[in-house]
Amino acid sequence: MRQFTAVVNPTAGGSTGAAALLAVARLLREAGAELETEYSHSLAHAQELARHAGSQGRVVLAVGGDGMAGGIGGALSGTGAVLGLVPAGRGNDFARALELPTEPTELAEVLLCHEPRAVDTIEVESAVHDRTVVLGSVYAGVDALANRHANHAKLLRGAASYYAGGLRAVTTWRPAHYRVTVDGEEHRHTGYTVVAANSGYYGSGRLIAPDARVDDGLLDVVMISEAPRRLFFAMMNELRTGTHVNRPQVRILRGREITISADREVPYGADGEVEAVLPVTARVLPGALRVLC
């Protein structure tokens, strides 16, 4: 029987992290599993707790949103430790990409019975930010600005905070001139964003990279070009289904190492947590993390 250590972000999704764990925890214990719960006071503290539990051979449960999943998953990347997810945030996009159930009974069955699957992670390097490892995506442009607004929203939650953040960001954004280097080949791009995606989803369920796979050893590079704002708002709606990729303003490349720079200060983010400015390099780490899904 597996031994679990749950690392909880007590502020995820408006203080729902602990509540999300309760039903699953009861089912795990009823099945005979051992479960310890640790509450983190920062992402760095959560990563420290996760590394310690993983080194003892325990399954580490990341209880929270994408920032928590990415932070803990990044900390366990390359260690051989096993990660489980209890989604309890605003976006839960990596859990969505893994097709994890949200119903407690089904999720407990995954955590108790399913074998770990090897998935890719993303190593992120920047001159102005410490090296880190994340799970979902690195995005540079208007979406990073929108995520910053969403993170600071006090009255809205979930998808509503992302949509409101997006509206606010788009109204003030002017297209940037990017240099995007994919496996050594440089591409010029003028527009709204560049996304290096391991997971297909970001921004609370938006399907930015429909063909991205978490275990193919590649990152999907999605570039959205300059367009009238009304067209960009239409594409924002199309992100729900992934049909935006059919527009001529959207270009997709694939590669193992992507460097993004721009002609001005452009923000980038990663898994909803990292907030910095370009340039940045994203490098896939194939099969670096074992996760229950």
Is 52's pLDDT higher than 80?
yes
pLDDT at residue 156 tops 70: no
Inform me whether the pLDDT recorded for 237 exceeds 90. no
Q: Quote the CA–CA distance of 46 and 53 in Å, as a whole number.
A: 11
| Nearest alpha-carbon partner for 220 in 147, 117, 136, 144 | 136
Q: Tell me where in the chain the CATH 2.60.200.40 domain(s) lie.
A: 123-287
Residues 173 and 226: their CA atoms lie apart, in Å, by 11
CA contacts within 13 A on the Cβ side of 77? 22
Model confidence over 253-275: pLDDT tens digits? 999 999 999 999 999 999 977 77
Topology (CATH level 3) of domain 3-114: Rossmann fold (3.40.50)
Which pLDDT value is given to residue 164?
67
Residue 128: the pLDDT is 79
Q: Is the pLDDT of residue 14 over 50?
A: no
Report pLDDT for 160. Answer: 59
Given a cut of 70, is residue 162 above it in pLDDT? no
pTM, two decimal places? 0.91
All CATH 3.40.50.10330 domain ranges of the chain, comma separated, are: 3-114
pLDDT surpasses 80 at 34: yes
Q: How confident is the model at residue 168 (pLDDT cuts 50, 70, 90)?
A: confident
What is the CATH class of 123-287?
mainly beta
pLDDT score, position 8:
93
Distance CA 209, CA 193 (A): 13
